[in-house]
Each structure stands twice: as C-alpha cells, then as structure tokens.
Amino acid sequence: MSSVSPSVVFAPQLKVPATYMRGGTSKGVFFNLDDLPAAAQVAGAYRDALLLRVIGSPDPYGKHTDGMGGATSSTSKTVILSRSDDDSHDVNYLFGQVSIDQPFIDWSGNCGNLTAAVGSFAINNGLVDAARIPENGVCVVRIWQQNIGKTILASVPITNGEVQETGDFMLDGVTFPAAEVPIAFVAPVEPDEAVFPTGNIVDTLDVPGEGVFSVTMINSGIPTLFFNAADLGYTGTELQDAINGDSIALARFENLRLHGAVHMGLSPNIEAAKLSQHIPKIAFVSGPQEYTTSSGALINAESIDCHVRALSMGKLHHAMMGTAAVAIGTAAAIPGTLVNLSAGGGMKDAITFGHPSGTLKVGATAICTDAGQWQVEQVVMSRSARVLMEGVVRVPAPETC
C-alpha cells in the first residue's frame, strides 16, 4: 500500500537546457545563462540551490546517485556561460565547484580543465560572433573568466564550419583521443598583483603539531602551496590510493592547507579558511624518477623534469587540475622556487612533469622587472574536450528541494 496521501500534490520537475561536457580531465554540467530560470540568472541562494540539486549535493553517501555529479572533485562542477558585452572578449565563463557532502558551491576560483570545453560550448550555442568562426581552421575564442577576472584564449579546431571534437591527441588521465585544444592563460597574474603574496620565493611555514616546512606560495592560475615531497615523508611518485586511503594523511594535508591560506593572506584565520575548500590548492614536488602510472604505464625518469602531486577538495587529484598546472608552469619558470629546483633549477620556459595518470607539458613566460618583481605574461598548455550529452536536465525547483 502506498504511504503517500492522494491529497498531496507535488510540483513537477523543472526542465533546464544543459550540456554535459568533458574538458581536460574534468566533467561538468554547462548552462547558457539565458536558459536558466530567471531567479537563477543572478547569483544567490536560488541559483546555488538549483545547481546543488543538479549535481546531487549534498550527498552524505558520497555517491551523487541522485544527480549529475560523479562524487569526485573532478566531476562535481558546474559552468554558466554568457555572451560577453565587451568587444575584446567573446564569452563570459563562470565556474562553480560543488561540494560533495556540504550544501556549498565555491565560486572563488577557476577550473582550468573545463576551460578547454568553454570555447566549443560557446561556438555551438551561438555565443561567438559567426564572423569570427572560419569554415576550416582554428577559432580563437576569447574567454573572460569571471571568477578571477582573467583572459583565457582557447584555440578551437573547426572543420566545415563546426567544432571538431574528434582527433588523435591523447591527454594523460583521459582514456580516449580527441582534438587538441591549446589554452593560453593570458597574464594570470596582473602587473599590479604579487606572484608571491608574501614577497618570498620560498617561505617557512610553522604548523603547530605538524612541524616547520619550506613552501613556495604562489598566486598564478590559482593560489597554490608547493611543498617538497621528502619533507612530508613521500617520494613524490604516489598514486591516489596511497593518499586518499589514509585519513590521517588527508587531515594533515588539510591542516597544512589551512595554515598556508592564512600565511598567504587568503584568510584572516583558520576558521575562515575552512569556508573555502577550493583555494588554496596544496601540492608536493620531487625530482624526476621512474614510476608506474595509475593506468599501468611505465614513465622513465628521462622523459620528465619533475613530479608534482596536487590535492583538490581534500583528495589527491587523479591527474592535474588545469589551474594548478598554471601555477606549476609559473613556478617552474622562476628560479629558486621549490618547483623550479625540483626540475633542476635555472631559467625554464617549459617543463614536463609527472602526475598520477601520466605526464603534462606546460610552458610559461615570466620576467623579472627592474624593481625585482616577477611578472607572468602567459602560461600555455594543451587539453581536449567533447560534448558527452546535451538536452535538458530535470531538477526539482529549489522551493521543493
């Protein structure tokens, strides 16, 4: 017998046009701003409640069974795009990192991986002026990243007037080949901003109960803390299970991250730092070593410059976040940082680093001014992207959530 009273009337679900896309090593649900319900077209509680329900958060079971999320930091993501009202850009890109087990969306940073999908979505949804799209060739989509106020250029291949998604470009961390999409992060640190918030290339971080550590604190792509793997008791070649299966280690990394956030000036105190899971990122580096990736591939030490492992939303990432790769490329280009030293030191315009799923090459152009301040002109890397599904996502209206 049904336990539902026949007198109870429930509202039907909303139908919201959406596209499910992979960008780099991440997946997310993409929306055209104009397709969202009117109340969700502006920032606020209604928008957050709607997107949380789309993803299936918060989920105490950690599965996202009742939503579009994949219950990992790489797959709990939403994107809202709109046509730019600035002639120097084509599209506005707003990113939301959705917490898995908390009713919270972090709007404080960018997703570099999903950036690779922004250009193709914008072209497919009429957000790029048709006159800028060649019949065959490359369309450089000028993206305004709203979360951090930066310009990104995505070079999207076009064949017969349509976005080309298929190709033979392999990105470690992604199973199948696709078309290559070069991404250029233009001036990820403005000339009037500090690449190193503390003014130091290497800082000393004293964390009660954990110890004293050398750390490079950098603000490029996304604020990131780089530690030496050996100082944390690691070789630097660890895969996900070695970290994510160790609750003590994860708690320690979070403690280091929170104290680093305060030291960088991102938060006034530890309690405030806990409110932002997205920034700063925390990573550890080591010199080049032979290792076996999560897919079983053997990577020779001679094929990489260094190793980098990074955590996102409290867990070791299965590959590398795009924004963290920007930080890695920047730090590698500046002599004396822990990333630069792990890669052998000296001036570098590009490095190839090892991560749990394989390797990634990232290049950066950084200059030191006469005043002794570092400036970053751009950071470049290649990703890929494709549409997984498009149509409508069905979701209960926030009033009924």
- Catalytic (active-site) positions: 111, 321
Closest CA to 227 of 246, 218, 214, 236: 214
E strands, 69-145, are: 77-83, 91-98, 105-106, 137-145
Report d(CA 192, CA 187) in Å as an integer.
11
SS3 213: strand
Bridge partners (DSSP) listed for residue 189: 376
Report d(CA 310, CA 321) in Å as an integer.
8
- DSSP tally for the chain: helices H, then strands E: 7, 21
User: How would you classify the pairing of strands 350-355 and 306-312?
Assistant: parallel
Closest CA to 189 of 77, 11, 69, 323: 323
Bridge partners (DSSP) listed for residue 391: 18
CB 283 within 8 A of CB 308: yes
SS3 231: helix
Single-letter amino acid code for the residue at 194: A
User: How would you classify the pairing of strands 77-83 and 26-32?
Assistant: parallel
CB 344 within 8 A of CB 304: no
Single-letter amino acid code for the residue at 137: G
Beta-carbon contacts of residue 206 (< 8 Å; ≥ 6 apart) = 212
Q: Which token pair is 143? A: 């993206």
CB 290 within 8 A of CB 301: yes
C-alpha torsion angle, residues 123, 125, 128, 131 (rounded to 10): 80
